[in-house]
Each structure stands twice: as C-alpha cells, then as structure tokens.
Structure 1
Amino acid sequence: MWELGSLILLRPWWLLALAGLVVLAVIALRRARGLGAWESAVDRPLLSAMERFGRVVPGKARRILPPIGTAAALILALSGPATRIANPETFRNLDGVVIAVDLSRSIVEGGSLDDAQVAAQSVLQNSAGRPVALLVYAGEAYVASAFTSDALALSPLIAVLGKDIVPNPGSRTDRALTLAARIFEEADILSGDVVVVTDGDQLTPQAFNTAQDLAESDIHVSAFLVEPSGDHEDMPAPDEAGLERLTLIGDGGFGQAIAPTALARSIGRRAASDLASGDASALFFRDYGRYLLLIALPFALLLFRRAT
C-alpha cells in the first residue's frame, strides 16, 4: 500500500509494469514507422521505386496507440487507486478486544484502582466500533461482560469496579488470559487484542505460554502497568520487567496506566491496519480501479476496427 496524500494505491507494484510497457511501446513505435524486415530483404533502390509507385506504404505509429492505451489503463486500474472510507462497516467476527482488569488487593487497596479504570476507559474510547468484552480477575477470572458492539455501554460497569467484586485472593493473570482465549474461541472472532490492566504481580509461566499461544492465533496481548499510588508497604511491588516481557511474547504493546492514551490509540490503529492490509481491505477503502476500466474501453474498441 502506498499513500499519496488522500489517494492510496492498494497494489502499487503494478506500476512496475508501466516501465515494461514503455519499453515495448518504444520498440513497437520504431517498427511501426518502417517496413520491418522488408528493409533488409529488398534492395534499397527497388524499395524506393516501389514506394514512388505507391506499392509500399510505411506503417503508421497511431496503430499501436489502442493496445498501448488499453494496457496502460488496465495497469492503472490494477494498481488499486483508492481512498480510505471514514466510517467503514464492521463485522462482529472480524476483530475484537478483551479488557482484563486486575482487581487484586494490591490494585484496589494500593490506591491505584482509579488509574486502572482510566486505562480501561481509554481502550473503550479507542475501540472504533470493534466488539469489546470485559473480564475481571484476582485469584480467579470472571466474565463481567461478553462481547458487545456498544463498547461505551461498558463504561458504567468499569466505573463501579471495586474490591468486593472478585472474592478470590491473589493475582492470576494467567487465568485471565486463558479465559480471554476461550471467549475469543466461543465468539468465533478471528483476531483481536487482549488488554491486561495490572501491576504484573504473580506472573506465572502459564501466563507467558498463553500469551504466546494467543499471538500465534493473531491475538495481541498488551498491558497497562498500574503503579501504586497509596499505602503499598505490605503488598508486592509492581513487576514492570515481567509485564513488558509478557507483551513482547504476546506481540502487543506496553504502557503506563497513568498515561494510557498513547497505547490505547496504538491498539486501535494496529487493528485497523491489520484488517486493511488483509482480505478485509475492501471494507476500509473505496477502490476506483474499476472506473479506470472505462478509460480502457475506447482503446479496446479500436482494436476491433476493420483494417485495410
């Protein structure tokens, strides 16, 4: 894909065929103006005499214009000139987002739950019409909301998250990722993002293995690190390095919950880019190549004229 301002070429490699067409056109033009192999097969004086008597008519360059014009229009059409559709149609099973919010004690009592909620809300605002599901977890993971195309409807649910919602103590990110993988499978969603909002406490080998499995299924694992902002003396310290490693294995992004906008926007842009470059690209661009074929029609019709 090649962007030229507001115009986009979906298949710019077809333009390389124009160079070959120019070479062929030059060769054909030189031959069309002469007599081809007759110039070497007939004596020059005899050929000149035949030309004077009108027995030999040199070729005309305009005869090669119809095939060249047809080929040029076809090449330009195949290059896929297009513009991006501002509000493309979305389909439930193309791409989705699962937000997993850690509600362990280190989050809800560490004074950092507000940051976690803001990060989750930022992902909702940048979901761009994709279906979104919400998980909450601590020692166990639970589905707070199945996939919904009305992502902003989850905003009030995120706003009321608190310490009494998940009764199981602990912080099992691995179970949240496993549950996310299961709801992707059950919803038949082809690709997407799992966004974990956590301090990275108690990351287990199972979490890294599940993140790798998700990445291999075209589901990216991103994470917002929630830093403590209150009394955190008797609670585990955030594991920033472990969380970064999790996102690296999961082919996702890493960001801070206190400043979530950059990562949230990156997740939204990557989803649109991945879909636009795949088989679903027709949903995101208005391709004008078919209209260029109309330019080829007059040249093509000239190819059927009667020759004398």
Structure 2
Amino acid sequence: MSDIVLLRPWWLVILPLLAVVALWRWRKGAVSGGWQQVMPPAMFAAMRVLGHLHDIAGRQKFAALATAALISLGLCGPAVPRPDAPLLAGSGAILIAIDMSPSVAESAALADAQAAAAGILAAANGRPVGLLLYSGEAYDVAAPTADPATLESQIAVLKPGTMPGAGSRPAAALALARQMLSGTRDGDLVLVSDGGGIDDATQAEAERLTAEGVRLSILTLAPAAGGTTDSAALEALGSASASARSPEPVLRRLSRGGALNPDPAVAALQFRDLGPFIAALAALPLLSLFRRRT
C-alpha cells in the first residue's frame, strides 16, 4: 500500500464537504420527501397511516453522498507504479564542468572527480552529455552528444598538466557553460569542484544560469591536504549538492531528467490509474435510488 500515489490529489477536498452534508442529514433525522415541512401534523400523520408517505430509508438518504464520495475518490487518481513502465529519457542536455586546478589535478581528488563524472554518464539515461574543464580559464572539451560513451576515454585520461596555466576560476566555467547550453530546454550543469575560487563573479554567473532555466548541481571534492576551501559557498551555488564520493542525490535528479512541469501523459505511462475502477463502484449506491417500491 505504500506504493500508492495520488495523481490528482486536489479532488480530495470534496470529501470533507460531503462529510459535513452527511452529518447534517443524519442530525436532521428521518424525512418523508419534505412533506412534513408543508403539511399540517394531523394530515401528515393520516397520510402515513394510509401508506401514501414513507420515510426515506437510510441507505437511500445517503446513496447520493456515497456516489459522490466514490466519484471524487476515483477522480483523485489513486495509482500504483507499472512494472512494465517504459524508461523515458529526458530531453535536455547535461554538461559536466570539472575543476582541473592544481589543488584537484595534483591530489587524490582527481580520481573522485573522474569517478563522479563516470557516474553522471551512467545516469544520463539517453540525455546528451557534454564536458568542459577549467582552471584559470575554461575550455570546452566536448559539446553535448547523444553518445556519452565517447566521453569515457576523455575523462579517463585526465591527469596533472592536462590543463594549461594555474589558478581556479569557476566563474569562467559557468560563463562558458551558459554559452554551450544557450537555447537548450531543460538543461543541467554539474559542477565538480573542491570550492576553490568561489567569488561574487561566480555567484553572478550562477544566477544567470538559473535565470535561463539551467539547473545547477554541485558535486564537492575533498580539499587537498592542508588546503582550505569555502565548501558552504560552493554548495550554495546550486539547487542540489552532494559529495563527489556519494553523488546519489544528484545522480537521481539527473536520471529523472524530466521537465520542470510534469507532463500528465508521462504520469499515465509510469502509473496504473485505479481511479476509473473506483469511480465505477459509484453505480452501486446510485442504482439503489432507482429501486422500485411495492
């Protein structure tokens, strides 16, 4: 039962209203079609003795409410995951930006960065993936490609000295990523860094990325021995962050790869909607209203 989800939960607001109406009708007591309110008591009692008026049975009195309750339960869309649901690939590109400054390239953090990048390739689920490297400057290594396996060798050969120059300017990497993802719908940028070089320019570039609809995720690397970095400032750049050694939260986000506004058609493919079956049960109390009296 824990796997049941509601596809249209807003229909549940009808149930409290129906409960109030049911309570009101129960406290009102037995009724005879409203005739007791317009007929004198003596005439009303005589008509009942003659058999011309009957109290509405409890099951009939609440049949309409039960029908409405079952329909609203069906409309809220209780559903269970489909075991045969197709695996859908996202439409937006993923761009990996790896910090190759000396503090990363000349330490054990480089291996963590390579492993994290390989995990991103595996989590892409068919989405195009691109790669850029940065230190003092940023360089595009590969534009987003529908065959991320081609990036595996480029990631595997990263080593000290791969990048010219020194320093660490993540702002340059974010600016280049914004150019590479320009016009891309539903894009993701994953920044793999130890947090070196975070400044106001980096924050400004991160805000520009977000304004253009690119989701920024952060995978943090452990700083080199004796090194100090502002990991809090690094994590604050993105809307999701995790350690490069435990990147599962970011990888799950990338593997979903859906648009910001879920498509109802996609939900229909991923879940089996039980709502029509529950709504069909409303016919049972509804039929009791058509029962012929003898």
Alignment of 1:1-308 (within 5 A): 4-28=1-25, 33-35=30-32, 37-64=34-61, 66-85=63-82, 88-93=86-91, 95-110=92-107, 112-186=109-183, 188-192=184-188, 194-216=189-211, 217=213, 219-228=215-224, 237-239=227-229, 241=230, 243-255=231-243, 257=244, 260-261=245-246, 264-271=247-254, 275=258, 278-280=261-263, 282-284=265-267, 285-286=270-271, 287-296=273-282
Single out whichever of 285-294 and 136-145 deviates more from structure 2.
285-294
Q: Deviations over 1:246-288 (max 9, x none)?
A: 3213323142x4xx12xx2111334567959842365254133
For the Cα contact (< 8 Å) 1:131–1:149, is it kept in 2? yes
Alignment RMSD, CA only? 3.6
Using the alignment, how far apart are the partners of 1:78 and 1:272 within structure 2?
30
Three-state SS of the structure 1 residue aligned to 2:171 is: helix
Using the alignment, how far apart are the partners of 2:223 and 2:42 within structure 1?
96
Using the alignment, how far apart are the partners of 2:259 and 2:27 within structure 1?
44
Point out which structure has higher relative CO (alpha carbons under 8 A, 6+ apart). 2
1:132 Cα deviation after fit: 2.7
Three-state SS of the structure 1 residue aligned to 2:281 is: helix
Q: Deviations over 1:176-213 (max 9, x none)?
A: 11122222223x22243x22223333334221111123
1:101 Cα deviation after fit: 1.1
TM norm structure 1: 0.75
Question: Identical aligned pairs, as a percentage?
Answer: 31
Q: Counterpart of 1:80 in structure 2: which amino acid? A: G
Q: Counterpart of 1:222 in structure 2: which amino acid? A: I
Give ranges in structure 1 of 5+ residues lacking alignment: none
Using the alignment, how far apart are the partners of 1:32 and 1:99 within structure 2?
69
Equivalent pairs counted in the alignment come to 289
Using the alignment, how far apart are the partners of 1:170 and 1:102 within structure 2?
10
Using the alignment, how far apart are the partners of 1:46 and 1:184 within structure 2?
83
For the Cα contact (< 8 Å) 1:77–1:290, is it kept in 2? yes
Single out whichever of 103-112 and 177-186 deviates more from structure 2.
103-112
Q: Deviations over 1:84-117 (max 9, x none)?
A: 3566543443x54321112233332345422321
Using the alignment, how far apart are the partners of 1:141 and 1:248 within structure 2?
21
TM norm structure 2: 0.78
Three-state SS of the structure 2 residue aligned to 1:82 is: strand
> Judging changes above 3 Å, is the alpha-carbon distance between structure 1 residues 289 and 168 closer, same or farther for their aligned structure 2 residues?
farther
Three-state SS of the structure 2 residue aligned to 1:145 is: strand
Q: Deviations over 1:124-173 (max 9, x none)?
A: 34445544322112232222233345445533321112345433543221
Using the alignment, how far apart are the partners of 2:133 and 2:181 within structure 1?
16
Using the alignment, how far apart are the partners of 1:70 and 1:80 within structure 2?
16
1:82 Cα deviation after fit: 1.8
1:47 Cα deviation after fit: 2.1
For the Cα contact (< 8 Å) 2:186–2:260, is it kept in 1? no
